[in-house]
Amino acid sequence: MKSLHKIILFALLPLMGACSGMLDIEPHSAVSPTVVGSDDIEALRIGMYNKVQEGPTYYSYIAFDLFGGELMTSTGRPIDLINSLSNALHTFVSSQWNGYYKALLQVNNVMSIAEGLADSPTRNRVLGECRYFRAYIYLCLVTRFGDVPVLRQNTQAKVSRDPASMAWELVEEDLDAASGFLNGLSADSFYYVSPAAVTALKARVKLYLGKKGEAKELAESLIANPNYALDDFDKIFRSKANKEVIFAFSCLTEDGSSIKISNQFYSYNHPNKGSYNYRPAGDVMTMYADNDLRKEVSITTLDNLNFVNKYPSGQTGSDPVVISRLAEMYLISAEAQGLNGGLDRLNELREKRGLDRVSPGNEADFLDAVLQERRLEFLAEGFRWYDLVRTGKATQTLGTKDYQCLMPLPSRELLYNPNLKPNNPGY
């Protein structure tokens, strides 16, 4: 199969500048489903992958690390960066909101086209991928913004926000549908959505919704899957063959990707070079034990400058971005089971990473241990802030205000579409 990002699509070009509001989304970038046949579906599929990867920009992948206090700029403290980003006028906010809805436009369009095709394994694969991506997009939106417009089809209407519960319901519905469409189908590599990728995202969603029994069962099914295993940390983040990654975006610059996360983390004096917009917070640099096998891959220091080291390509920006991997399943299972059932899973992961076992004395301490392990494991992978929000620890841990448990909607969107008002409280 061709690379996911090399085909330039006549039917799925970026939104044209004439579209003045992201939710007034006449599909300028899409041909009519009635003139697209089965021969075109592969090109449409590849364009959908590209748009979901690229649309929300690099901010989307590190937003929860920025908002979660793991990163800071050259001056100030992590809380200063959080307060700066908590701004309805900031590109940090608008790029995510607009990017996810751009991606949704493409996904809904491809879905409507695929639904009109004759039944076939290819049609079912595309529909499964569409449902996975729509679930992924709405998971990203609802965890950031809370109440958001839930769009099952593209529309030109100036829509209102729907309750967050409706977004969560669609996420679960779409993942169930994706499982059905992809059942029995395999993926060529972890750069393509597979049944396992759907299961992994389901496990995350169930944990976030407090459906711990379902989360545990889903996570355990992947832990038991012989196709996956905890692997060496450098393999995961140094583009080596591994058995841990379940799904990732390829983000290859030579294929047109603009997602250059690594450029944000290295400075020009580093051999890989970068713009050095963000550096690890002080406590991030001290949180890894010397025997933690994740340490050198996660952080490094050169010429008294500290760097996030997970994305090593620097200015070239050719690092994959992992969406799901098996370590998350171990920690989902651990958290979902609690101390009595989950301690072994927590310690199995720790031992794989070179650390000693831990023995928390109660459920509160166990949850703290799991959250700390998630912090060590997933630095710069987009988990920290929502881990703190969903467990009620954000304001205490970060020193933020209660309203900063949601991001603001972009001011421009509220100006263009008054039906989206009011903004989230506090903004």
Report yes or no on 409 lying in a domain: no
CA distance 224 to 222: 5
Q: What pLDDT is attached to residue 49?
A: 96
Say if CB 311 and CB 341 are below 8 A apart.
Answer: no
Report yes or no on 24 lying in a domain: yes
Query: With the C-alpha atoms ordered 238, 241, 243, 246, is the resulting torsion angle positive or negative?
Result: positive
Are 309 and 179 part of one and the same domain?
no
Are 258 and 140 part of one and the same domain?
no
Strands in 215-289 per DSSP E? 245-249, 279-280
Check which CATH number belongs to the domain holding 68 and give it: 1.25.40.390
Are 128 and 21 part of one and the same domain?
yes
Q: What is the dihedral of CA 202, 203, 206, 207, to 10 degrees?
A: -150
Q: What pLDDT is attached to residue 256?
A: 73
Number of domains in the chain: 2
Are 88 and 177 part of one and the same domain?
yes
Side-chain-facing half-sphere of 344: CA atoms under 13 Å: 4
CA distance 143 to 136: 11
Report yes or no on 238 lying in a domain: no
Distances (CA, A) of 120 to 115, 125, 262, 309, 344: 11, 9, 40, 44, 43
Of 284, 301, 316, which marks where a domain is finished?
316
Of 185, 203, 223, which marks where a domain is finished?
185
Distances (CA, A) of 382 to 62, 286, 316, 369: 5, 20, 21, 19
Report yes or no on 93 lying in a domain: yes
Residue 255: give the domain boundaries: 251-316
Of 133, 163, 185, which marks where a domain is finished?
185
Are 256 and 174 part of one and the same domain?
no
**Helix residue ranges per DSSP H, 260-325:** 282-286, 295-298
CA distance 5 to 422: 38
pLDDT (tens digit per residue) in 69-89: 999 998 889 999 999 999 999
Are 151 and 295 part of one and the same domain?
no
Are 158 and 285 part of one and the same domain?
no
pLDDT (tens digit per residue) in 285-315: 999 999 999 999 999 999 999 999 999 998 8
Query: For strand 299-302 and strand 305-308, is the pairing parallel, antiparallel, or unpaired?
Result: antiparallel
Q: What pLDDT is attached to residue 36?
A: 63
Q: What pLDDT is attached to residue 70?
A: 98
Report DSSP state, residue 401: -
Q: What pLDDT is attached to residue 117?
A: 93
Place of tokens 């729907």: 162
Report yes or no on 326 lying in a domain: no
Are 290 and 170 part of one and the same domain?
no
Q: What pLDDT is attached to residue 34?
A: 55
CA distance 252 to 238: 14
Which residues make beta-bridge pairs with 280?
71
Are 33 and 162 part of one and the same domain?
yes
Write out residues in the chain with pLDDT < 70, as ranges.
1-38, 253-255
Are 167 and 34 part of one and the same domain?
yes
3-state secondary structure 181-209: HHCCCCCCCCCCCCHHHHHHHHHHHHHHC
CA distance 136 to 56: 12
Report yes or no on 127 lying in a domain: yes
To which H or E segment does residue 18 belong?
A: none
Q: What is the dihedral of CA 236, 370, 66, 106, to 10 degrees?
A: 60
Q: What pLDDT is attached to residue 33?
A: 54
Report yes or no on 375 lying in a domain: no
The per-residue DSSP string of 343-381 comes to: HHHHHHHHHHTT------SSHHHHHHHHHHHHHHH-TTS
CA distance 78 to 72: 5
Angle in degrees, CA 397, 399, 401, rounded to 5: 115
Are 145 and 18 part of one and the same domain?
yes
Is the peptide bond between 425 and the residue preceding it cis, with omega within 30 degrees of 0?
no
Q: Considering just the CA atoms, what is the radius of gyration of the chain in Å?
A: 21
Report yes or no on 303 lying in a domain: yes
Percent of the chain clearing pLDDT 70 (strictly above): 90
Are 261 and 170 part of one and the same domain?
no
